[in-house]
Amino acid sequence: MKSPQDRDIGELAAAAARFDGRLAEVKRQIRAGFAWYPYHSLANFDHLERLLCGENRRLLRLIGDDPVLDVGAGDGDVAFFLESLGCRVHAVDHPIPNHNGMAGIRALKEALGSSVEIHAVDLDSQFALPEQQYGLVFFLGLLYHLKNPFYVLESLSKAARYCLLSTRVMRVLPPAGVSVQESPVAYLLDQTELNSDDTNFWIFSHQGLRRLLKRTNWEVLEFLLRGESEGSDPVSRDERAFCLLRSCYPLKHYELLRGWHAPEGNGWRWTERTFSVAVPNAASFSLRVFVPEILLSRSGAVTISAQAGQERLPPEIYRASGEHTYARRLPKSGLIEFSVDPVLPPDDLDGRERGIIVSGLEFN
């Protein structure tokens, strides 16, 4: 029997259409004193069916055992559907721009007997997310409504392994129709310029969106354009980009086991003398480290070694401070345990044992 996590995105799109019908019936039965969000959010799964390829079509596998975050949840249609698939879901929106002040999502939660966690979060503030670790974030149709998209995307990259994003994009600038298709730029809308809606702000060119994603720690795995393919602009000709993204925030997609201190700066971490990580299906690894001068001052050299399962891997000795890469081929193994010598012991300024600074890790 097929595992639920092996369901293809095509199957999920068909299930989303059926769930949309169920939600419509539930909404008809609720005596609402408000207007429901007027768009069919679950229709996005038709676009995702076209977007996702290969192993990425098994969307529930990308999510894994971590919760899902639905940002800009509207009336919660996507959140409640994901819950019906067995996911733990947090739904985030803000009452002021929400179509009905979040009354819709709360009414549906009660009517469905749902366990979806609903959180009111202002993304245009210095916000905090409900949890620090998500398997996947749904971020559909929201980016161009944000005043500070850079901050939001960067914050999400630190919390989620994957992201499904859609946003409006442009190929030309008004009013003269100057092409910006190959330029990494954005257009700032006036208050009533797009649909007389003052919550619309930034429309990115294709390359502008890709540059933004790169600068906010996201790798584009899949990219799909829908809508106006000729002369799309920020105001009248609507084109949308759909993306599957993977966080590049250092060490984000890996299961760190023991010996790691909390991330600092752009995600680098101090380790203890020994530190370990679970190994995905891979033939080799590259550990990017920074050797500080204070560590070298203790013995003139720093040695990193590793053991994968029962096999000891050749060590590496570093005699210069700065950035280095410790790369080795891997036997089949469930984990790697690294060790560093010498280390910095706890002192008055820092009570931690500090082995090495790790800025990145890649398995291939």
Task: Provide the β-strand partners of residue 91.
Answer: 70, 118
260: in domain: no
66 token code pair: 């971590």
295: in domain: yes
262: in domain: no
The pLDDT confidence band at residue 2, using thresholds 50, 70 and 90, is low
261: in domain: no
Same domain, yes or no, for 76 and 217? Answer: yes
Domain termination site, one of 181, 212, 247: 247
Q: What is the mean pLDDT of residues 138-154?
A: 97
84: in domain: yes
Same domain, yes or no, for 215 and 349? Answer: no
Question: What three-state secondary structure class fits 143?
Answer: helix
146 token code pair: 């944000």
Q: What is the CATH number of the domain that holds 282?
A: 2.60.120
Q: What is the mean pLDDT of residues 115-142?
A: 95
Q: What is the mean pLDDT of residues 28-33?
A: 93
Same domain, yes or no, for 234 and 280? Answer: no
The pLDDT, as a whole number, for residue 12 is 97
The pLDDT, as a whole number, for residue 1 is 53
The pLDDT, as a whole number, for residue 248 is 87
pLDDT digits over 182-204, tens only? 999 999 999 999 999 999 999 99
Q: How many domains does the chain have?
A: 2
Q: What is the mean pLDDT of residues 311-336?
A: 95
Average pLDDT over all residues of the chain = 94
Question: Omega into 234 within 30° of 0, i.e. cis?
Answer: no
The pLDDT confidence band at residue 245, using thresholds 50, 70 and 90, is very high
The pLDDT, as a whole number, for residue 103 is 97
If one compares 1 and 4, the residue with the highest pLDDT of the two is 4
252: in domain: no
263: in domain: no
The pLDDT, as a whole number, for residue 323 is 96
Q: d(Cα 71, Cα 74) in Å, to the nearest integer?
A: 9
Same domain, yes or no, for 166 and 71? Answer: yes
Same domain, yes or no, for 215 and 297? Answer: no
Query: Per-residue pLDDT for 221 more than 60?
Result: yes
Query: Per-residue pLDDT for 286 more than 80?
Result: yes
Q: What is the CATH number of the domain that holds 194?
A: 3.40.50.150
Same domain, yes or no, for 228 and 284? Answer: no
Query: Per-residue pLDDT for 10 more than 90?
Result: yes
Domain termination site, one of 216, 247, 278: 247
Q: d(Cα 1, Cα 242) in Å, to the nearest integer?
A: 32
Same domain, yes or no, for 227 and 356? Answer: no
Same domain, yes or no, for 328 and 296? Answer: yes
Query: Per-residue pLDDT for 253 more than 80?
Result: no
250 token code pair: 């250092």
Task: Give this prediction's pTM.
Answer: 0.85
For residue 70, which of 112, 102, 128, 117 has the smallest C-alpha distance? 117
Domain termination site, one of 247, 280, 315: 247
Same domain, yes or no, for 353 and 213? Answer: no
Query: Per-residue pLDDT for 5 more than 90?
Result: no
Same domain, yes or no, for 185 and 44? Answer: yes
254: in domain: no
The pLDDT confidence band at residue 132, using thresholds 50, 70 and 90, is confident
pLDDT digits over 57-66, tens only? 999 999 988 9
Query: Per-residue pLDDT for 267 more than 90?
Result: no
Same domain, yes or no, for 187 and 330? Answer: no
Q: Which residues of 107-137 are buried (b: 16+ CB within 10 A; e: fewer)?
A: bbbeebebebbbbebebbeeeebeeeebbbb
The residue range of the domain holding 286 is 269-363
Same domain, yes or no, for 175 and 273? Answer: no
